[in-house]
């Protein structure tokens, strides 16, 4: 590698590190094009010469099933399809709240499309519940709780299941035990 191309590579790495530090300090990360929707709360986006994986902050969507023998949770596919309809191949703004847990290290973020909070939209539609664990610093959970309360009382989406409803967190625990390596 020539000295010029090595300097360019080093410069690119420093620019990416600086961008990532800005991205992960609770700020508007900028505009990205959504290139893949994995499920109802996880996406891949591209912009600024990088690819990022984003776990939608404040929500937990029904599971779609990750193995052939593992069926998905009710409304898991619906959540994925709706999120695709909303944002796939569109330019969105992402507000970052830091990195998610190891081993995935996804950016925890809120997705905005034309000033509409897509995370809250998923909750309003009954296609995600409010995430019940630790919230990122300076994250306002109140509008999420209000959206969930309204979706529940209307029996929208997964809330239609009533007593049969199982939270995504409990679903993951059930299937982790069932399909764990022996």
CA-based nearest residue to 39, from 168, 181, 173: 168
Reported as a single tens digit per residue, the pLDDT across 99-133 is 887 667 789 999 999 999 999 999 999 999 999 88
Reported as a single tens digit per residue, the pLDDT across 15-57 is 454 455 444 445 556 899 999 999 999 999 999 999 999 999 9
Reported as a single tens digit per residue, the pLDDT across 68-84 is 656 789 999 999 999 99
Q: What is the dihedral of CA 154, 156, 159, 161, to 10 degrees?
A: 110
Domains of the chain: 3-178 (2.40.50.90)
Is residue 30 within 8 Å of 47, Cβ to Cβ? yes
Compute the C-alpha angle 155/169/126, nearest 5°.
20
């961008």: which residue's tokens? 19
What pLDDT score does 84 carry?
98
Q: Is this model's pTM higher than 0.85 or not?
A: no
Checking if the pLDDT of 180 tops 50, the result is no
What pLDDT score does 86 carry?
98
């Amino acid at each position: 590698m020539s000295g010029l191309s090595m300097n360019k590579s080093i410069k690119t790495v420093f620019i990416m590190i600086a961008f990532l530090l800005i991205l992960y300090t609770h700020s508007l990360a900028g505009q990205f094009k959504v290139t893949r929707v994995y499920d109802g709360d996880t996406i891949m986006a591209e912009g600024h010469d990088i690819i990022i994986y984003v776990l939608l902050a404040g929500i937990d969507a029904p599971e779609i099933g990750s193995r052939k023998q593992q069926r998905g949770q009710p409304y898991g596919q619906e959540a994925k399809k709706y999120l695709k309809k909303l944002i796939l191949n569109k330019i969105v703004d992402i507000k970052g709240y830091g990195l998610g847990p190891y081993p995935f290290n996804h950016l925890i973020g809120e997705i905005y499309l034309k000033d509409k909070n897509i995370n809250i939209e998923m909750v309003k539609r009954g296609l995600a519940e409010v995430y019940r664990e630790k919230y990122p610093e300076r994250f306002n959970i109140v509008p999420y709780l209000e959206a969930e309360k309204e979706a529940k009382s209307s029996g929208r989406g997964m809330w239609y299941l009533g007593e049969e409803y199982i939270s995504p967190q409990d679903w993951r625990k059930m299937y982790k035990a069932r399909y764990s390596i022996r």
